[in-house]
Amino acid sequence: MNDLLVGKLVRLAAYDPEEMGKAFSRWSRDSEYWRLMDTSPAHMPSAQGTTKFFEKEIDKLDTSLYFFGVRRLEDNALIGEMILHVVNWAGGDAFVGLTIGERENWGKGYGTEMMHLLLQYAFLEVNLRRVTLTVFEYNPRAIRSYEKAGFRHEGRMRKFLNKEGRRWDMLFMGVLREEWMGLDTAAVVE
């Protein structure tokens, strides 16, 4: 079996709060990054403040949170982050979130492979039963990527988000372990 955390394009890596704080501060200067990632208005957090926040989160030693930096294999550059949050250990249920920082890394298959690697980790290493995520309806690139990784549409919160003077839905997507196990995983990461 291949390394659980390494794909053809990216690898999941240890989460370095200082490096992530600097990267997140830089990525946050792009309002489109915020628009795709968060419901709050775009703002520019400092690298120092963001680092302190990440250190505090990681220092909680919360065994239900798994943080990963994401590095491109070709040059080891930090391109994003992923978080797996187990919300129900008894039921084996978790939420996942991911971001890819700079626009030049968008649309290159990194997100699909990141999600594949994290699902492999969630289902084979952590032994979860289901993984859920939320995505805004105005992010069709992410929706297609999640569908490629095996996620199915499960619901929506209508008119949840107010952006650009318009109300948008937030979509819920999920994948069950048995669904993911039935995928042709070679096709998932291509």
- What lies within 8 Å, CB to CB, of 167 at 6+ separation is 159, 160, 161
Query: So what's the pLDDT on residue 26?
Result: 81
Burial 69-97 (b: 16+ CB within 10 A, else e): bbbbeeeeebbbbbbbbbeeeeebbbbbe
- Paired with 69 in beta bridges are 13, 81
Query: So what's the pLDDT on residue 4?
Result: 63
Can you read off the two tokens belonging to residue 109? 């298959």
User: Which residue carries 């030693």 as its tokens?
Assistant: 61
Query: Which residue, among 133, 128, 124, has the nearest Cα to 152 in the 3D structure?
Result: 133
One digit per residue, the tens of pLDDT, for the chain of length 190 reads 345 699 999 999 988 888 888 887 787 776 666 666 666 655 566 667 666 666 666 666 667 889 899 999 999 999 999 999 999 999 999 999 999 998 899 999 999 999 999 999 999 999 999 999 999 999 999 999 999 999 999 999 999 988 888 999 999 999 999 999 988 653 444 4
Can you read off the two tokens belonging to residue 10? 């990216």
The domains of the chain, with CATH numbers, are 10-188 (3.40.630.30)
Query: So what's the pLDDT on residue 82?
Result: 95
